[in-house]
A and B are shown apart, each in its own frame.
Chain A
Amino acid sequence: MTRYLLARLLQGLMTLLAVSVVVFVLSRLSGDPLTLIMDPMSTKADLARELARLGLDRSYPAQYAIFLGNALHGDFGQSIFFKRSAFEVFLEKLPATLELGGTAMAVSMLIAIPVGVLSAVHKGGWFDRIARLVALTGQSAPVFWIGLVLILLFSVTLGWLPTAGRGSWRNLVLPAITLGWYGNAFLMRITRSAMLDVLGTDYVKLARLEGLPERRVIWKHAFKNAATSIVTTLGLMSISLVTGAVVTETVFAWPGVGRLTVDAIFQRDFPVVQAAVILIAVMVVVVNLAVDVVYAWIDPRVRFQ
């Protein structure tokens, strides 16, 4: 077990190293940030001086070596644009993204799990059809369009909720629905097929034969058994909600890491782009490790592979 997890950890670290190379090379290829931060009237000599000041005049391998050495100490360099630590800038925006992602996940669970369970129970019935249609719609339309339509409906026409920004819980409602509705199709599928599996087992048939009420059979016996695969799915989903929030954050002016990174990309703020992509990859690796641990813990066969 320990050996297995150590091997996974090592693989995770290799992944991160590769991610750092990819993002470094890509961001360097996209040109330098000077066109944005320099006075248009500056001369070529000014440009060269500024490049040297930012350390961008060295060769790419040299730049990468410096970058990697610093990154290992948690130093992703100064944001060219914000003139502050890129790591700090990222961390500052992370709570907003986690808040939105967490709420969206709650929204997803609230919709997807009951719908998944009930549509498995009523497989092929009208509930199954309609509920799945509604759940799937969130993953069938452009997220920004859904967001804007929700704004027009609930903010402009009905006046129930604020349009954009972060503040009270009311600001959270529309972006969380937009993002959560997008995420729920995946969760609903897993719930539904896990439930279908469990409902077909002898264990559930036995519970029914014992004359237990149907509701108890479904929620107490069947759902409990389906829950393991649902929980591991939630782990994977949490990542896609963080990385998938870029568009939602833009539409609702939500000050999170997605929007930060998009701006940084367009401004060629390499340190921030590198910090964001690598730290998101760290989250992916950590969550995957956690999922592995849970799997190994549930399923003894994995431990001895």
Chain B
Amino acid sequence: MRRTLMTGITLAALAAPPALAQSLTFAINNLGAETWWPQDISQNKYISSNIGDPLIRLAAPYSLEPALATGWSMSDDGLSYSFPLRAGVTFHDGSPLTPDDVMFSFAPAHVEKVVGFSAIKGGNILGIEAQGNTVVMRLKTPVPALMDNYISRASIWPKAYVERVGIEGFNKQPVGAGPFRFVEHVKGQHVKLAAWEHYYGDQPQVKEITFRIIPEAATRIAMLRTGEADITYNEVGASTGELKKYAMRGQPYGQPAQAALIFNSLLNPDRTPGRFDDIRVRQALILAVDRKVIADAVYFGAASPAALPVVGTRMPFYDAKFAPLPYDATRAKKLLADAGYPQGLQFDFVAATSNKDLAVLLVSFWQRAGIKANLTLLDPVSLSRAWWQRTLQGDQVMLVGGLANGMASAVYINSKSQVAMYASPATDALFAQGMAIIDPAKQTAWLHDTLLPAMNELYPIAPVLEYQEGVLGLGPKVKSWDRFDLHSFGLQWLVPK
């Protein structure tokens, strides 16, 4: 891994000097809290993570690459991790990267306040110390997928700088060791980043990138057409099609995600028996829908039918024998009849306003199969609340979004987590079994050998479509952008024309 990376740098240095004359504009929908201190960030990590690199990078699901650390090793009990730091890395203020900075960034006092990070909170980091140029982190209890979920999400910040300017000063001028340095931030309007000339990794190809905050999708597309924006963020769906109409490229990026039907009556482990306990009913809801048509026509090929929860079909260790259920309305009707609903089924269906088109299409396909769904739309937060805090009474079906990126997504079958999609003693036992495996290779084997068959057997939720988190619209000034970092945009791989 390390060698490949170094070859890459040498090649870049030998080739003609990179064309750094370009400055590009990226129209995004939202900049979240508009602050840069990691404790405050919940939505703009995609940008802030370009300023501050992590120790280990998550380039694709289950594909970790060295970043500020040249690698990592884990003790057999999964309680001790060591990260040898890369030599010669400098932060944007010119100071060198030292173990102190890493220890500072993961100091328990900081970690406790960061939004998210629940598994390494609550005193689970027992200590973090330097051994020469290597940083060693010791945990109280093992955290499966620590690299994928936590280490790769945490940027390293310069200790001396933060201590000098304070959090307020850092929010005005964040400094990291990432491929781009912070230039300016005009609140509510734009953020400007410039390529960091002394970046240790692949050299940025674009000299300057301006992120402009444009909440309305139609306005973003208009800007792509006028050339005011070179890249746009788009939700998966209608605007993807609009991109194609203007011969703009749509580039999916982000974690593998799923839209899935979950069942309110199945969210509680000690539940009373209900209609959706029957796997045939849950399967019928999927069999009745031509998901291929929906994916191609409405999502313009940016989505495909999903098969099982937790593990997406495009994951490297997915098992092809668990293919997505086909479109088979006859079988759907038969399953319903077998389950005791020969006259069809009627239920309340709850979806988020952001998923309106998909919800309407599902209702329409179900109608053809004799299934009547009374659709209610909630704003996304209300839907999350209904799901996470179990505020609905009854056996509603909910259309929700979730990730399907392997071990990290196993949380959806853990009845103790708020995002549980299905709760039962059997799935809890399964979750506990998976979480006890620390070795990453054994984990993937468990996902493949144990979890997938179990999910196929149980079909606890009904996954509808799978896609990546978003689609980037690329204008004519972008030559290509096909490599990403799952926790940042990976702007160093954006190639201008």
* A residues apposed to B, CB below 8 Å: 30-33, 35-44, 46-47, 81-84, 92-93, 96, 144, 148, 151-152, 155-156, 159, 162-167, 250-253, 255, 259-260, 263, 266-268
Contacts and interface: CB of A to CB of B under 8 A. Distances in A.
Interface string B209-226: 000111110110011011
11 contacts: A31-B382, A32-B385, A35-B384, A35-B388, A41-B116, A41-B411, A47-B418, A82-B35, A144-B216, A148-B222, A252-B219
List 7 tightest A-B contacts by C-beta distance, closest first.
A255-B188, A39-B116, A35-B384, A253-B214, A42-B118, A40-B419, A31-B385
A164 B189 CA distance: 10
Interface in B321-345: none
Contacts of A38: 115-116, 418
A165 B381 contact: no
Contacts of A251: 216, 218-219
Contacts of A96: 188
Interface residues of B, number: 44
A83 to B, nearest CB: 5
B215 A253 contact: yes
Given A39-B116, A252-B219, A268 B381 contact: yes
A166 B117 contact: no
A162 B382 contact: no
B42 interface: yes
B381 A36 contact: yes
B292 to A, nearest CB: 29
Contacts of B419: 40-41
B215 A40 contact: no
B416 interface: yes
A41 B385 contact: no
Contacts of A35: 381, 384-385, 388-389
A280 to B, nearest CB: 18
Contacts of B418: 38, 40, 42-44, 47
A44 B215 CA distance: 32
Contact of A39 (B30, B117, B226, B416): B117
A250 B381 contact: no
Given A35-B385, A41-B118, A151-B219, A83 B226 contact: no
Contact of B218 (A84, A93, A148): A148
Contacts of B216: 144, 164, 250-251, 253
A260 B189 CA distance: 12
Contacts of B18: none
Contact of B225 (A37, A46, A156, A268): A156
Contacts of A47: 418
Contacts of A155: 222, 226, 228
A30 to B, nearest CB: 8
